[in-house]
């Protein structure tokens, strides 16, 4: 394109994103063509640098977003059982108690633990104990209504919130 322009062909189209070939000439049009080539080369290099930086920034942003989601999940979920953790349980208990006061309704909050759990860990090992905690957590969760809530309170203890439930229920 630059060569054609330097020879007087003003109808030529230059490809966007490509660098014109090196053109050597000592006349004024040739020098202008070489200066334009240098500018296009500089612009092309700058645009490539910006694009690399944009892609790198997007990759970093995606990675940060994924890590934030993981952090959010870890801050509310017990990693062993996949159930809500102590902090989340306490928040849900407060919410449910507040709802009960507002709505003049009742709820039940149950705390349960696995008896002699230390003996299980000591006899069969921590992997077996972890498997039992996961199984108990899933059985508790599967036994609840959709509106109820169970979480790992700590150690071998679980907390269950039963909404719209009174003592006789």
Catalytic residues: 156
Which residues lie below 8 Å from residue 106, measured CB to CB, with a gap of 6+? 100, 164, 165, 166
| Furthest-apart CA atoms within the chain: distance in Å | 102
**Token pair in block for residue 159:** 């907390």
| Nearest CA among 87, 94, 102, 114 for reference residue 161 | 94
Rounded Cα–Cα distance for residues 88 and 36 (Å): 64
The backbone torsions φ and ψ at residue 145, rounded to the nearest 5 degrees and listed phi first, read -75, 165
Distance separating alpha carbons of residues 125 and 133, to the nearest angstrom: 13
> Tokens in use for 48?
């490539």
């Amino acid at each position: 394109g630059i060569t054609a322009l330097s020879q007087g062909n003003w109808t030529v189209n230059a490809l966007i994103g490509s660098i014109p070939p090196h053109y050597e000439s000592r006349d004024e049009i040739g020098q202008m063509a070489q200066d334009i080539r240098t500018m296009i080369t500089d612009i092309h290099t700058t645009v490539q640098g910006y694009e690399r930086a944009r892609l790198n920034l997007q990759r970093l942003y995606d990675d940060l977003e994924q890590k934030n989601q993981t952090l959010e999940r870890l801050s509310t979920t017990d990693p062993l059982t996949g159930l809500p953790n102590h902090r989340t349980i306490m928040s849900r208990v407060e919410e449910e108690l507040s709802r009960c006061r507002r709505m003049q309704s009742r709820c039940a909050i149950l705390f349960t633990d696995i008896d002699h759990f230390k003996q299980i860990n000591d006899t069969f090992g921590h992997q077996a104990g972890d498997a039992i905690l996961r199984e108990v957590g899933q059985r508790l969760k599967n036994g609840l209504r959709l509106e109820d809530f169970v979480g790992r309170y700590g150690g071998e203890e679980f907390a269950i919130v039963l909404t719209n439930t009174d003592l006789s229920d």
